[in-house]
Amino acid sequence: MVTAEAIVKALSLLPHPEGGFYKETYRSDGVISEDCLPNSFEGNRNYCTGIYYLLKSDDFSAFHKVNQDEMWHFYAGDPIEITMITNEGVLNKVRIGSNIIKGQLPQFVVPKDVWFAAKVLQPNSFALAGCTVAPGFDFKDFTLAKRDWLLKKFPHHSTIIKSHTRQ
Ligand code: GUN
């Protein structure tokens, strides 16, 4: 059986601040000047970037948000549950995976500015996915949520916030 550790090694993945492991696989040469981007972007950005993202079931991707719509692609392993909370406090869950008949999606776009977290629900397993954004990613576009701040803003979602935050 292929292990998460073997894939992390084979693809040279590194720990991501949200949890899980990643490696950037694509960064377009083309650059969009800051003048042509919305005010939410500070500085220039490449047209597009993509990463591999691996998540083990004993870990989680902590609540964070990204300045761009982020397209997730499912590649291998067990399904990933993505939990989103809009700025209006509406919670939504989707599963990305290969069992399409069961409602799992091979692709899903997390809208920009939505708080989201991810988890592999099947014990002793992992998932390998890809995440693509345009304009291309910069850590300036990424905000990791603080647990207390999120709890204050969305007190009715306290259970999921507590289980999907570290700081
Ligand atoms: N590059 C580094 N971190 C990320 C991330 O969280 N999302 C995307 N799309 N690219 C990244």
- Which tens digits make up the pLDDT trace of 128-145? 999 999 999 999 999 999
Quote the domain boundaries for residue 10: 4-163
- Which tens digits make up the pLDDT trace of 50-96? 999 999 999 999 999 999 999 999 999 999 999 999 999 999 999 99
Position 24 pLDDT exceeds 90: yes
Tokens of 158: 């306290």
Predicted pLDDT of residue 1: 85
CATH number at residue 61: 2.60.120.10
Percent of the chain surpassing pLDDT 90: 99
157 alpha carbon to ligand 1 midpoint, in Å? 25
Number of structural domains found in the chain = 1
> What average pLDDT does range 2-11 have in this prediction?
98
Beta bridge partners of 43: none
What is the distance between the alpha carbons of residues 70 and 165, in angstroms, rounded to a whole number? 20
Residue with CA at minimum distance from ligand 1 atom 4: 137
| Per-residue confidence band for 106, with pLDDT thresholds at 50, 70 and 90 | very high
| Per-residue confidence band for 152, with pLDDT thresholds at 50, 70 and 90 | very high
Residue with CA at minimum distance from ligand 1 atom 10: 137
35 alpha carbon to ligand 1 midpoint, in Å? 23
